[in-house]
Amino acid sequence: MAIDTIVADKKAKKMPMIRITDILDKVRAFLPADDLARIMKAHVYAATVHRGQMRLSGEPYLSHPTAVANILAEMKMDGSSIVAGLLHDTIEDTHTTLEDIENNFGKDVAFLVDGLTKLSKIAFSNKEERQAENFRKMVLAMSADIRILLVRLADRVHNMQTLDYHASEEKRQEIARETLELYAPLANRLGIYWMKVELENMAFSHLNPQAYNALYANVFSKVKEREVFTAGVKEIIAQEMEDAGIAAEVEGRAKHIFSIFSKMQRQRVSFDEIYDLIAFRIILEENNKTMCYATLSIIHARWKPVQGRFKDYIAMPKANKYQSLHTTVIGPNGERIEIQIRTREMHEWAERGIAAHWLYKEEDKQAGDSNKQIEKIRELLEMQQEIDSPREYMSHLKMALFSDDVYVFTPAGDVKEFPKDATPIDFAYAVHTNVGDKCVGARVNGKMVPLRYKLQNGDTVEIITQAVHQPSRDWLKIVVTSRAKSKIKAWIREEDKKRTIELGRDALEKELGKNQEKLSSFLKSEKFSEIIKANSLENTDALFAIIGKGKLSPKSVVNRYLDREEERHEANAKTSSKRKDAAKHDTARVSAAGVDNMMVRFAKCCDPIPGDKIYGFISRGRGIVAHTRTCPHVANVEDDRLIELKWTTKEKEVYPVHMRVICRDRKGVLADVSSAITSQDANIAHAQVKTENKDMEAICTFKIDVHDLEHYRKVVGAVNKLTCVLSVERLRGR
């Protein structure tokens, strides 16, 4: 066809049932007879164990693994991959065990199926954690065998083709968003263009059906006219190739819906302002890079090229090893057209990406490229090993997959690719962790540049190091690669751990000193071993660490060491309502991680009071500081520096709260509001009033003492009953 079919899901809703004979017919051309027998056996096995199970579409469940195997057969995957496609849901959805799979189909297939099995039997706290853990397992397994990811992608393609049968709109949106954010970029990273296009279009049609349908209608509103134009351009190019004696195939296609939408969003233009809707491809039969450039010169001699629209992905391949020449020219009737020029081998890789490895494996034509690409994907494994937070892991994963590539040179002339906006620090960590940690400067193209310099295509980068230098926390604000971020954070965590241990050691040593005891004697005592065992700790540093984090008080450790009963804090102490410093309510009790009666400091930026949901922020040199969960100061703090806190205070202590009351200005307004506050047994520690003559308003600011959140709400309720009051607001972030 002159114009490719754009949207796979439009035709997928009524897909014919795939039969095992269809698969066998496809693979017979490239797989040995033994593999055909294994595939047939796997189909019979899957039919047996899935018997009675149905899809949401009403079809037998077997239709899904058969469809997945068919996609893998079309990708010309090896026999084990196709067998794994047929069996990929057996462990999760039937009584089949991994041992059954291994006994019947061998270790290779068992390994693939195990890597594909979701973590459905493990309880997770939320969807984000489940998604992250599933991806962690998939990345871990794929680091040993990339075929696991290819089968998972084929599985996602068929699930998207049948997504309309999900009754829940929320579930459809969730699956479509995950597909667009993770699976389509993964397909792109692997260079499987057709799969990337299908996944993007199908996800887009569910996430934004209105925009999708409008674009679909616009693209095909003049389909006949475009077919005539496409045929004419193809004929001209074919004639030019024939005249030059170059054997080539010429293709013409409309760009797919999601790529058009993305371009409109990126350039902030309407559909009518997108001129290059049709792309042409010249595929040279001879595997000769020089002929690609010769073809380019012929095209530019025929039509005027558009300035700034030429890209050479042959000399500088994309991260997924895509190679091609791209140019945009002013074609017939003054229309802009995009033309891609590549060899047949480049085209095979461009369409099928890493899956082409199995087609060429016997001749080893693509071994080098595929191995490099597998190493690129395996970097995700290193990232997932160093990031504990599911939210952070998914954020890094998406960033790694969506990056636009920048190509730079090492001083030795080697090419390295980085995401857009990468810095010399990203480059340094790509060379080696030690180079990154000790980076103090950089030369780009022979000139010194700041470390926040953004690398540009073609830059030659040289890193300057110093043996005693260490990373800076500020680097996290400027680096963009997952590797650099994870390495810097790992260093920060290690430094924080050291500081916490030092803090705990110092606190314990001081407490022992108060009792005329020495740390060295304590560490040699039997009581020390008892304390370590009682708290399930591994070593001395672990004890210092939990003291430094505030999870265990040094006084309780010393009291146990000296066989004394732990001193109690004064119970039912009524704090003076006129106390001068809010820090006095630091004696309030909270619990964390099962440790009760923790002593913490309370942040003055948000004034937590019992009833507020609070986090404990592990600060350097100050132990634990409690903040409300909505406090902006902890919004972007790393998860490993926050701990969950709960109030355990039962005594009626008082806590400072700042509030602003806006009233209609009139005589005695401050007295009326103050009276309402004190009527609820709340002390006013400070009061201030300011009038706004322009709006005839009085702004009253109070610092009051309350017992807890419920007490504060009663105060607010009493104040709101005054007819002069316009609004009441709790002040934070002072």
Would you please indicate which residues are annotated as catalytic (active-site) residues? 92-93
Residue 79 CA, chain-centre distance (Å), reads 33
Distance CA 427, CA 431 (A): 6
Where do we find the tokens 């020219």? Answer: 329
What is the widest separation between alpha-carbon atoms in the chain?
A: 101
Distance CA 135, CA 159 (A): 17
Give the number of C-alpha atoms closer than 13 A to the C-alpha of residue 590, restricted to the C-beta side: 28
Distance CA 638, CA 7 (A): 41
Distance CA 232, CA 696 (A): 75
Distance CA 387, CA 56 (A): 36
Q: Per DSSP, what are the bridge partners of residue 725?
A: 663
Distance CA 284, CA 342 (A): 6
Distance CA 287, CA 314 (A): 12
Cα separations in angstroms, 149 against 99, 139, 192, 363, 668: 22, 8, 12, 24, 73
Distance CA 374, CA 369 (A): 9
Distance CA 560, CA 453 (A): 56
β-strands 595-598, 614-619: how paired?
Answer: unpaired
DSSP single-letter state for residue 405:
E
Cβ neighbours for 3, distance < 8 A, ≥ 6 positions apart: 223, 226, 227, 230, 252, 253, 254, 278
β-strands 725-731, 697-706: how paired?
Answer: unpaired
Residue 35 CA, chain-centre distance (Å), reads 38
Closest by CA position to 401, among listed 7, 161, 135, 205: 135
- The SS3 of residue 124 is coil
| Angle of helix 127-142 versus helix 98-116 axis, rounded to 10 | 110
